[in-house]
Chains A and B, each alone.
Chain A
Amino acid sequence: MSIRPIQFPDEVFARVCPDLYFERHLSLGLRPHSLRKFDEFRQIKVKFGNTDSENWQDYSSNLTLGTSSVRSDGINIVCSVTGGITEQEPVAGSGIYPNVEILRGGVGASSANGGAPSEEEMVASQGICDILRRLVNKESHNKCQFELFEKDLETGKSTVIPNKWLILNCHINVLSRNGPISDYAWIAVLEALKDVTVPEFRYNYDTQQVEIMSGAAHPGQKLDFAFLNNKTQIPVASSFGILNANLEVEDSENEDGDETEVTLEKTQVVIADIQGESEEVATSTTHQGSRVSVMVSGDEKLSAFSFVGVTRDMNAIKQCLALAKSRAQSIGAKVDSGDTLWSTEETYRG
């Protein structure tokens, strides 16, 4: 009887045994879905401003206050900010309501069409909301951003419309997902908020409605949150996966000298910016991996940290923190501003 090894094509092996597939790659010093180093992040392309430039010159621009689009390898997010009016005074930094939606198909399955949001969507939305609230709440000046101003054209004086406040709804639509999206959703929200122009308002005493002024005489003004303007204060989100891997190590210092022996060595490997199915599965808690997400600003102030999983070794977490810090300082160099929808990659057909 002969025993023959079973052979799988690459993609089948990756699906059947994602952790082993990943470990084999790691032993060679490679990542399965990209050419990045273990501690390297994906390059991000950001565009803010009107996605629909041709049509936005006119009246409708007053309804979508700001947009942004974020693209990275396999990830595409469009974020738009719309406004609303409430009579409840914002407390403790509330006023911005972000909601993440990941496009994933199936009628009623996606939250976009009334279904329940997935766990990832809920966690990302709530996470972004919490951080924004803390940032807004930090400075009393930020609260004025939610007040509605009425401008007298003759005197040029601005007065506050009493008992009415502005709310900002951030719609974060993830069109393409490749690995966890929360870091990218955060960037999308920040960029969209930077783009927001709050229109001028007028209170109509007859209808008791707040009216939005349009036209060149009423340009509105940019949102003036302190944290948006100060580059070093903006928290940068970085996520990592920690893997307890059995890496193959070639033991060349053998007694015989000519034969190299392959031994398995248990090590913890930190992978930055998880991408692709096998990386995602192998670093999940069901495969004894763990996930770390860190939000740290350029001036090294930690604003959020989460660790999910098990570890006996603190070194991996320390490494994550160090990487996140250095990334926060250099993020300016990594974010490309430019066109991000696919069409800019190639020329038009037709």
Chain B
Amino acid sequence: MNITDRRRVLGPSDAQPFSLSNVVLADDQNMADVAESLSDDQIPTKIYLKSGVVNNASGSAYYESGAIKLIATVYGPRPIRGLFTTSAKLSVETRILPISVLSLSTFSNLASTSISTQTLSNIVASKSSQSSVLEKNISSFINEAILPSIFVDNYPKSSIDVSLTIISSGKNSKSVIAAATTATSMALVDAGIELKDVVTAGSVLLSRGNDNTTFTMDPNVIPQGDDVDAVIAYTSMIDDSITGLWVEGNKVDEDEMKQLMDKTRLMSRNLRNIVNEMLISEFQQKETIARNLQVSGSGGEKEKKNNEDEDDQMTE
């Protein structure tokens, strides 16, 4: 039986969305990208972070760095109906908006190079209402990476829902995930949820072109052939322990793995410095507001006392 979704405004049933397989490329268009090389302390390049951007959420954070633009929103802790749990349940959902290039550019490589099955399965991303495999994988990575940092035992019988919206992405999914991890942590802080540490993540691309391997931090290119890309999340303040690790590619030896970890750790520390600075300035702002309120509120308290006196007198 053919069931049509009457709750949405759908087009004709035979409609086929445009996909990159329909696009005829002009001769002068160059699809290959070259990774920019920057010195280590320049990574991540330029970041804009702002929390509390979404009105109808407990906490939120907006992250922008180059082509990456994303919003993490936190709803909760809110009560779970039914079953009893001794600790909070964290759930993450990710949505890549159709304007985001991530899905499209990975798709375009289908014909030219062998890429991982991970990115391959993202074809549907633009756009059915079902979430794509990449979206699901991002969600589960963030869930794993963030969960160790939350004092979940302090929130029994409740759930913390994180919703990630990737408005625009670069071409490398790992860089987006690193950004999303950081943004999610920021949103959790904004929501006032008790945390052991703020998780930040670093991304790196190991490219094996022309017999020499190079490492690029915070890459904005698609891995080609034997390239390896990785995102590793750290709790860099308390013990620098790894909370999430996603390495994709093949033939990684021990030395390369160590390099991958070093690079991502460096990036996540740099990110952490920015996050710290940002948190401190936001707390200072909040403090000033609270202090101003107190000053104006103290008059009210006096009034209350007078009223109480009057009440007492009346009872006498």
Interface residues of A (CB under 8 A from B): 1-5, 7, 50-52, 54-56, 58-60, 62-64, 67, 74-76, 78, 80, 82-88, 97-99, 103-114, 116-117, 122, 125-126, 129, 167, 169, 171, 173, 175-178, 202, 209-218, 341-343, 345-346, 348-350
Contacts and interface: CB of A to CB of B under 8 A. Distances in A.
B312 A176 contact: no
Interface stretch (B49-57, B174-182, B234-242, B243-251): B49-57
Interface stretch (B23-31, B115-123, B256-264): B23-31
Given A216-B28, A342-B53, A105 B161 contact: yes
Contacts of A109: 161
A274 B95 CA distance: 28
A349 B26 contact: no
B57 A78 contact: no
Contacts of A60: 20, 101, 104-105, 108
Contact of A55 (B25, B101, B163): B101
A108 B222 CA distance: 30
B289 interface: no
A176 B11 contact: no
A80 B98 contact: yes
B67 A52 contact: yes
A348 B130 CA distance: 35
B110 interface: no
B108 A83 contact: no
B15 A342 contact: no
Interface string B1-37: 0000001111110111111101111111101000000
Interface of B: 7-12, 14-20, 22-29, 31, 44-50, 53-57, 60, 62, 64-67, 69, 71, 73-76, 91, 93, 95, 97-101, 104-105, 108, 126-127, 129-131, 161-163, 165, 167-168, 170-171, 274, 277-278, 304, 307-308, 311-312, 314-315
20 contacts: A3-B311, A52-B100, A55-B168, A62-B23, A78-B167, A82-B127, A86-B12, A98-B9, A105-B75, A112-B95, A125-B8, A169-B11, A177-B55, A211-B22, A211-B24, A342-B48, A342-B64, A343-B64, A350-B46, A350-B47
B29 A59 contact: yes
A103 B24 contact: no
A103 B163 contact: yes
Most chain A CB inside 10 Å of its own CB: which residue of B29, B97, B126: B97
B71 A349 contact: no
Given A78-B99, A209-B22, A51 B168 contact: yes
Given A111-B129, A169-B11, 12 more contacts: A51-B167, A54-B67, A60-B101, A86-B15, A88-B12, A112-B93, A114-B130, A114-B131, A212-B23, A214-B26, A215-B28, A350-B46
A214 B25 CA distance: 6
Contacts, number: 227
Contacts of A58: 29, 31
B56 A62 contact: no
A52 B168 contact: yes
A209 B7 CA distance: 30
A210 B69 contact: no
Nearest to A173: B97
Contacts of A67: 99
A343 B100 contact: no
B180 to A, nearest CB: 15
A84 to B, nearest CB: 4
A103 B166 CA distance: 12
Contact of A88 (B9, B14, B23, B163): B14
Contact of B50 (A4, A126, A342): A342
Contacts of B67: 52, 54-55
A132 to B, nearest CB: 10
Nearest to A53: B67
Contacts of B8: 99, 111, 117, 122, 125
Most buried by B among A122, A167, A350: A350
Which of B56, B64, B73, B277 counts the most chain A CB atoms within 10 A? B56
A59 B31 contact: yes
A349 B48 contact: yes
Contacts of A105: 57, 73-76, 93, 161-163
Contacts of B98: 64, 80, 82, 171
A125 B67 CA distance: 29
- Which of A60, A83, A86 has the most chain B CB atoms inside 10 A of its CB? A60
Contact of A213 (B24, B75, B99, B126): B24
A211 B108 CA distance: 15
